[in-house]
Each structure stands twice: as structure tokens, then as C-alpha cells.
Amino acid sequence: MAHGKHQILLTGFEPFGEDSVNPSWEIARALDGAIIEGAIVRSVRLPCVFGDSIAALDRAIAETGPMLIVCLGYAANRSDITPERVGINIDDARIPDNAGNRPIDAPVLADGPPAYFCTLPIKAMTQAMRDAGVAASVSNTAGTFVCNHICYAVMDRLAKGAARKDARGGFIHVPPLPGQASRARDASAMELGEQVKGIRAAIAAAMTTRDDLRLSAGQIS
């Protein structure tokens, strides 16, 4: 386990599907080594593979001993940065992962609870990104692919004491980069610099906010 300066573990995924880049990793590696609210960011790239991604996460947690874990993932159909509220105990893949796995209605962890709520202050983080001029909103579903797989797993690890006793964590989905979105989705793209700015603001808010803001972020559907 790393010693000395407080550590923030920031993860992103390798490219998957038809994409040659993954914005989540581009953001994470841009922030690697950054000092945010007195803590240093350590960025790790996860494989977009069920199971293997959790093993890589476990190694990263053991190596960094983080006080904060922020996992990033790419959502092609989103137009803003979306901190997730909850991860569910289901793997249900619409497409195969990078190893060809395509689980259907399988649990992330066979002995785990149905869901875990993220412990990041998601509303304060969303507000901080908006205050920085970056489009953001709270999300109530992390999907059922490898992103949700990791969202659920990181909260399981924190619940079971794999990191520092006071550590908090969660998951954030990010939108496409310009040129990555299809012609039909061009409006949803966000420049890398803008996304890096937003995630930096979100992490700063997570570092300085213990009790989340009580703002409406509910959705009708």
C-alpha cells in the first residue's frame, strides 16, 4: 500500500466496441499526478472485461490505499458528465466485452446485495461541475455492462473494508469526444479539456464535501 501523501484512485477503461479511444481513460490519464485538495491522483486503466476489470481494480486499491475512488466510464448516448447514484448486482451485456464475454442476467457477485449506493457526494459534484461551466447531471442508472460491473464492485470493496476505513467512492459516466460520436449523436460530444475540467471540479467537491447537498435531481422516467 502506498504511504505518504493522500491518494485519489481515478480509473478509466480501455477502448471497446467500435471505438479506438475511450474518453474515460483519456480524462483519467490527463489528471494522473494532479494534486487536488492536497491529495495526489493516481490513474489506472482497467480492461473492458467482466471479472478482469475487478481484479485490476483490486490491485489498484491495494497499491494506492486511496481515500477516494472515482471510476470513470464512457456512455455514447449521454451529452453531459453524469455521476451515478447506484450500482446494481446484474451483468446483462448487450454486446460482448473485449474478451468476448457476454453474460446475461448474471450477478456481479453471487453473494452480494441487490445494489450499492455510491458514497460520493454526487449532487455537490454535479453542482461543482455546473459552477465550472461544464454540463453535468445526476444519473440513476449505470447500465448493466462493464461500467455498472465496476460501479458495483468498487462499492462492495469499500463496504468490506478493502481501502481506508474512511474511504468513499463511486462511478461517473462521461460523454463522447468530438469526432467519436456518430453523425446522429454529434450534439452529445464534449471536448476533452472540458471533460477534464469537469472531473477535476467533481473530485475537488468530493474531497471537500462530507454531507451532500439536498437538491432535487430526481427523474420521472
Catalytic residues: 84, 147, 173
Q: Where are the beta strands (DSSP E) in 47-188?
A: 68-74, 82-83, 86-88, 115-117, 168-174
Is residue 142 within 8 A of residue 151, CB to CB? The reply is: yes
Distance CA 147, CA 161 (A): 21
> Residue 10: which H helix or E strand, with range?
strand 7-13
Secondary structure of residue 116 in the 3-state scheme: strand
Distance CA 119, CA 68 (A): 10
The closest of 53, 42, 47, 78 to 150, measured between CA atoms, is 53
Secondary structure of residue 153 in the 3-state scheme: helix
C-alpha angle with apex 8: 32 to 211, nearest 5 degrees?
135
